[in-house]
Structure 1
Amino acid sequence: MRVGIVGLGTSGTTLACLLHDAGHEVTVLEQAADPRPVGAGIWLQALGQRVLDRLGLLEPLRAVSRDVDRVAIHTASGRRLVDLGFDALPGATPALGVHRGALFTILHTAVRERGIAVRTGVVVTGARPTPSGIAVETAAGDLGTFDLLVGADGSRSPVRRSMNVTTRDHSYEYGALWTIVEDAGADRHRVDGTLYQCLSGTSDYLGVLPTGRTGASMFWSVKASGMARVLEAGLDAWRETAAPLAGPYAPLLDRVEELLPAGYRDVVVRTPVRVEGRYGAALVGDSAHAMSPQLGTGTSLALADVWSLAHALATHSRLAEALPAYARERAAHLRWYQWTTRLMMPVFQSDLAPLAWPRDALAPWVARAIPRTLIGTLCGDRTSPWTSWPLPGLDPV
């Protein structure tokens, strides 16, 4: 098939490689004129690792990443809420602390090595069915048509808007300011393999994620409407506010040179596919299911999407059968993480301060009572507290 993929991010590049390897004619359309590796650290779960392993990319990524095998959550008063290792679930694979830019570089290299066509500086404004395929719309006119058009163009996806499948799309009230600091040199303050979070009420938290071999990503929860005020106040004022929550990572605050804003959206679609005769469109990643990064599932869910879509195309002879099969395959898995994330937001990032007390009282008990369920959820493959979801055609490694 002629496949157009809108977006050169993680899901777009991975899908391009999978479909090219399956013999399809793939073109990737990217709005940036000169795509570069940017972004904070990400938490790559076992599920996402298995997909990259099948492309032969996991070992190169491991070489520039760090195992994250423990989650520690404390309050500003020093109370320990959660302290869980992945060894609580026998056989669980630790997550990887990955710099988003490192992952981009590895995937972008894989696209170039395959000779996949990439057109940059293309701002896609929409898509529509025509007798010859799904047309890609830009401000300068139609770019061309494809048998299958895939929107991998993020939470504000123009492809999704054109498909008219959105049932929920709004910004979360809270976002984060983030930065990456180096943790190397003679005065090294070692960041171990722990995802650390310290909470103050339901509105403030500081997170530290090991990122790459020598770095750490720091995340500061802040209301979207207040980000500008924090940035205008300057780094010294922020350090003073953040210090009580930094715990053992307080020395890293002095290495922060900038804070960058990140906003989150809650996106739900009625269906991630549309079939128009012999042609069709599909959504993957944030374009289909953006959510808060409370569980760090975004990248792994996107990789699960692209593997499932590629598998559906390989096992069904007609697009009209493959796309609905892809949608059915993804439904239960996504539903679990969407609802879990939505339930977590009020107790971690909201103005509902009274929720902090029951959260702090119950969290230690829950962590002791169901550690396997919690670690299983963090591995990224759950469909319920008791069931997991293996990728189709992809055995665990």
Structure 2
Amino acid sequence: MRIAIVGLGTSGATLACLLADAGIDVTVVEQADDPRPVGAGLWLQELGQQVLDRLDLLTPLRAVSRPVRRVHMTARGRTIVDLGYDALPGSKPALGVRRGDLFALLLSEVRRRGVPLRLGVPVTGVRPTPSGIAVETAHGDLGSFDLVVGADGSRSAVRRSMNVTSRDRPYAYGALWAVVEDPDGSSTDTLFQGLGADTSTYLGVLPTGRSSASLFWSVHTRDLQVRAGDLDAWRAVAAPYAGPHTGLLDRVTELLPASYRDVVVRSPFRVEGRCGAVLVGDSAHAMSPQLGVGTSLALADAWTLGHALAGDADLPRALATYARRRAAHVRWYQWTTRLMMPAFQSDLHPVAWPRDHLARPLTRTPGVAPVLVGVLCGDRTTPFTRWHLPDGA
């Protein structure tokens, strides 16, 4: 079997390692000439850590990351959520990770395995041919493969050409973000969110790596570029939301825009004869980062697909197994994220009052905190049932 993976992000690089370890002929195609990490820090949940542990990457990643043990949320300076991972016995804290550290580890492993990398090749789509699935580029077909994996993000060209999309909507709100030095560790071990009086404004601070922090400022997408250009004005507006982190605002030298999409597919794969195309990560199920599980879901996709392909030589059956195993898990987080968004990033401002007045008593209700922490761990299919990596270990 010859497999092409389009995209050298987290899911693409992880899957390349898994397939190479299984002795499968795999090539990675990446549009960047010199691929680098893009975006702010990651909130890596327990599920994602399990996958990296199986690649022997968790220990080196922990060495350069910071545990995130609590979520602290305020509204107009008043605490409305103070939730620790220790509320769920046996759960592991998340990790605040620099994207560059995770990317460097995965890229090193891809290269150590000798996986061919085709860099500087923007893929425009895929299509079936008599010899397999062709990878299309602006300069002609790159070649034909038994399987093409779309790991090319929320605006996936592979997904578009597969014609499997049932929902692809941009969220009205995105974020301005920055990664700043935090040598004193003022962000400690806590994800902080300072909310405003409505549902459109908040400031998030995530411990990132050993000595830095990521800042997120919620903003309507129409203002992503406008507000990014005036740092002094932004600091004055953001300061009342920063709580104990006002000092970090002065370290911001640039604000970068991030926009999000809500993507649902009818099926994450298509089969043409004995060949096919399949989607992983944001290509298959992009969503808002509100719950911080996007990276963990992408890693779970990569592990599940790799396990299915290595364990079944019948490609259509292996792809069907992958889709079946991922369906309930992905669906749960898509709906949970979609239901949460109006309370934090929307124009439904009346929702702010019940959010601010009910969150604290709700999280203190017996039995609620463990359920909420379970959702954060990234491995739920319902509030009370868990998803497990497919080999059962």
Structure 1 vs Structure 2: percent identity of aligned residues?
A: 68
Which residue is equivalent to 1:343? 339
Q: Distance in 1 between matches of 2:319 and 2:274?
A: 11
- Aligned counterparts of 2:38 and 2:290: Cα–Cα separation in 1: 21
Match of 2:25 in 1: 25
- In the superposition, the TM-score normalised over structure 2's length comes to 0.98
SS at match of 1:150: strand
* TM-aligned CA deviation for residue 248 of structure 1: 0.3
Residue 261 (str. 1) matches residue 260 (str. 2): no
Q: CA deviation at 1:276?
A: 1.0
Equivalent residue, structure 2, for 1:115: 114
1:192 aligns to 2:192 (yes or no): no
Q: Is the 8 A contact 1:269 1:288 kept in 2?
A: yes
Amino acid at match of 1:334: V
Q: Please say if residues 228 and 257 of structure 2, whose CA atoms lie closer than 8 Å, have aligned partners that are also in contact.
A: no
Structure 1's 394 and 122: CA in aligned 2 closer, same or farther, altered over 3 A? farther
Quick one: which amino acid aligns to residue 277 of structure 1? G
Alpha carbons of structure 1 residues 189 and 106: separation in structure 2 relative to 1, 3 Å: closer
| 1:321 correspondence with 2:320 | no
Whether 1:69 and 2:69 are equivalent positions in the alignment is: yes
Q: Give the CA deviation at 1:189.
A: 5.8
Structure 1 residue 9 corresponds to structure 2 residue 9: yes
1:216 deviates by 0.2
Q: Gaps spanning 5+ residues in structure 1: where?
A: none
Secondary structure at 2:387's aligned position in 1?
coil
Distance 1:228 1:125 in 2: 27
Q: 1:223 aligns with which of 214, 220, 225?
A: 220
Counterpart of 2:376? Answer: 378
**Letter in structure 1 aligned against 2:99:** R
Match of 2:381, SS state, is coil
Residue equivalent to 1:101: 100
Q: Distance in 2 between matches of 1:259 and 1:241?
A: 14
Summarize the alignment of residues 385-396 of structure 1 with structure 2, pairs less than 5 Å apart: 385-395=383-393
The answer to whether 1:126 aligns with 2:125 is yes
What do the CA deviations read for 1:119-165 (whole angstroms, capped 9, x no partner)? 10001001001111110001111110111100000001010011110
Residue in structure 1 matched with residue 208 of structure 2 by the alignment: 211
Q: Does the aligned pair in 2 maintain the 1:133–1:146 contact within 8 Å?
A: yes
Shift of 1:95: 0.4
Alignment of 1:131-142 (within 5 A): 131-142=130-141
- Which moved further from structure 2: 10-19 or 362-371? 362-371
CA distance in 2, matches of 1:165, 1:129: 15
Partner of 2:173: 174
TM-score (norm 1): 0.97
Q: Deviations over 1:296-350 (max 9, x none)?
A: 1110000000111011112223001000111011010011100000001111001
Does the aligned pair in 1 maintain the 2:150–2:158 contact within 8 Å? Answer: yes
Matched, 1:293 2:311: no
Partner amino acid for 1:125?
A: T
Deviation per CA, 1:81-106, whole angstroms, max 9, x where unpaired? 11011100000011000011111011
Q: Is the 8 A contact 2:228 2:254 kept in 1?
A: no
What secondary structure does 2:64 align onto? coil
Counterpart contact for 1:39–1:99, Cα < 8 Å: no
C-alpha distance in structure 1 between counterparts of 2:336 and 2:37, whole Å:
30
Structure 2: segments with no counterpart, 5+ residues:
none
Equivalent residue, structure 1, for 2:44: 44
Distance in structure 2 (CA, Å) of the matches to 1:203 and 1:12? 33
CA RMSD of aligned residues (A): 0.9
Aligned length: 390
- Provide the C-alpha distance between the structure 2 equivalents of 1:141 and 1:149, rounded to a whole number of angstroms: 16
- Contact 2:185-2:212 at 8 Å conserved across structures: no
For residues 37 and 267 of structure 1, what CA distance do their matches in structure 2 show? 22
> What is the distance in 1 between the residues matched to 2:186 and 2:204?
16
Q: 2:199 aligns with which of 199, 202, 208?
A: 202
- 2-structure distance, mates of 1:26, 1:348: 41
CA distance in 1, matches of 2:9, 2:37: 10
